[in-house]
Structure 1
Amino acid sequence: MSFKDDTLTLTDKVSILRLVSIFSEVPAEVLADIAMVSTQHSLPAESIIINKGDMDFALYVVIHGKVKVHAGDHIFTTFSNNDYFGEYALIDSSPRSATVTTLEPTEVLRLDQTHFNQIIASNKKITQGILNGLIMRLRDYNVLQSELTKKGEEIKLQRDVLEKQRKELEVLNATKDKFFAIIAHDLRNPFSTVLGLSELLAREFENFDSDRLKEFINQIYKYSNNTFNLLENLLQWSMVQTGRMPLRPKVVDLFEVVMENIELLRGNATNKEISLIGPEEGEWFSYVDVNMITTVVRNLISNAIKFTEVGGFVKVKFEQDDRFVTVSVSDSGVGISAIDLSKLFKLDSNPTTIGTSQEKGTGLGLILCKEFVERNGGKVWVESILGEGTTFRFTAPRISSH
């Protein structure tokens, strides 16, 4: 570096050095001594002030102009009017870690480490002032660190919100895909069957005997009933997804809920010669939304009948402790494989299986069961061995009838 130019007055140099944080608390008369040994330099553009690896131990303050701190073509930062760099070189003798080059004609004020050390050795006030400046800088750093920590926490919260929204969008997309799959396949197929049978009956009614007519009518009833149950589940599911099904809990006799559903589904069980066994009568009271829990019980019993062979059994049982009533729906049916067990209650991977009498379903009923049970403060789970039957259990908050 060259082009030394001492056009600055001592007062000018003091003012410039005051911009350096470590000198902010140094008394003016002492800072004047430091200013006296500092030197002014005028440099053209593209002048190298410091080379990476240089043993250049000095502080620089940019009076006018602009410099870049870089390693090759990579620029770390730039400094312009009243910025400074290299203050640590006044007390550190490590090689320079980057190159500093002027970007335009630039004037700098340079304070050499050797001159600085000579002044410090003869004036304790400088040391005290520098320490005060360092303390003030440390305080500023702590404030900055606190602000950065706060900003970091805000960013984390925003990231958590975005992640939550991303997961919600994934669920919504899965919901949309499931919805369209149901509309496109599981509703279309039974309607097509019912329409086909109805058309055949209307066109060829006189050509069928009573047994054949009864078979067609039973088929129409079965498909219509299955489609109605699917539509009912689909309606409730859509209401849950859109927040149009508020929770309305009250004291409910679970025994009555179960027995009503057993009677409702007894015809399905009788058609397959399945024994439908209700729970023991007793005080099985819970504080739940009766419509939601009715849907849960109906779906679990209906599924048990669907996947039980002719001549099997479906049994509902109650247990309770101080906090919960546990409702169990067990069957002697086909069971569930370990792979399919892990997929149950999940919208994006919920398996669908054909019943023992070719009954079809979407698996949507179990999704509803989980949603409704958890909204009422309980949990639902399943235990099964392939070929040996299945037991679904769910809990509901217990309450005394008195």
Structure 2
Amino acid sequence: MQLSQRVLNSQFSPIRKLVPYAEAAKKSGKKVYHLNIGQPDVETPKAFFEGIKKYSTNIVYYSHSAGLYELREAFSKYYKSWNINFDAEDLIITTGGSEAVIFSLATVAVPGDEVMVIEPFYANYKGFAEMLNVKLRPVKSSPKNGYAVPEREAFEKAYNEKVKAIIFSNPSNPTGAVYTYDELKRIVDFAKEKDIFVMSDEVYKEFTFDGKKHISIMNFEDQERFILLDSISKRYSACGARIGVLATKNKKILEQVMKFAQSRLSPPLMAQFGTLGLLKDLEEDYFEKMVLEYQQRRDAAFDELSKIEGAVFQKPHGSFYISVELPVDSSEEFVKWMLTDFDIDGETVMVSPLNGFYATPGAGKSEIRIAYVLNNQELRKACSILKEGVYAYNQKRK
């Protein structure tokens, strides 16, 4: 018996595939500071759990395949508070933001089609594309200018007639870049000229620092070609709830996506109730406190990483990630070595090698992503260990 070429061609998660090395390090008695995965350490707001109590019934039933209407109304109100004019009928509640991405890709592209992506990108875009036999067409950004949107010429060079859409996250996972109006307009103008769809992953819209403001793709004209992808995972520290949103003003897309939504029956009911609690009953100062906390963490990580001689990066303005080009020959080998061969007083650190966040072969070989999801004291300690690790790794290889 043989397995499908589809699954054989798919990559393991570049974030999770090195977990066995971390588990072995812990079994050997080491403490591992986890900066490798975007799992916030802040408590999920009590409003989520109160929502489950408040809105639940005695039967865990199937909801509408598009999600509870009351929840879609609550999301509509939330988006309008961001000057994003979605009505409840423009939204489909998905099982996490991941399902929103999969549904979108499967709706706009067929096997053999291509989707442009600004790299480095959220690594699972590649996994989802491989699942659907869709190829990613990369446009590369650079750590030297903070991973800004590439110039128009780069998009032209990457484009071909098989391209059906472009997908990106803003603020960016994994780089922390927050795209300006002019950068987004560059994408919109290119998509309009080529008549392709734009899929904007806005999961981290609340996470902007230094006075930067998130600009939604829905603030531009030509909205029929836009699909907004969203999730409650990060902003509410509710990754395991698995509630996402696919939103668009294109009624034809919504009609076709509903086929997929009906095939998986419904998003998780209890998590929908919890999300109602978040959207209706959250403390008014929640986001203000959250953003302040993550900006302080960003500053702490940036300060410590700036002490690594030869590191190339700029201070990010959003999400809760920093991508850094390190002076190492292979970030993946370096990450493994940190877990197997290096510690300071029994402590080491795990980060994500960035090569798995690229579609271009060989790209990102010396880059890492750091998720600053620990408190300031632990974050500074972890980044300091990382700095010493870089030095020791390079001394070892001389």
TM-score, normalised on structure 1? 0.20
Higher relative contact order (CA 8 A, sep 6+): 2
TM-score, normalised on structure 2? 0.20
Say which structure is richer in helix.
1
Larger Rg over CA atoms: 1
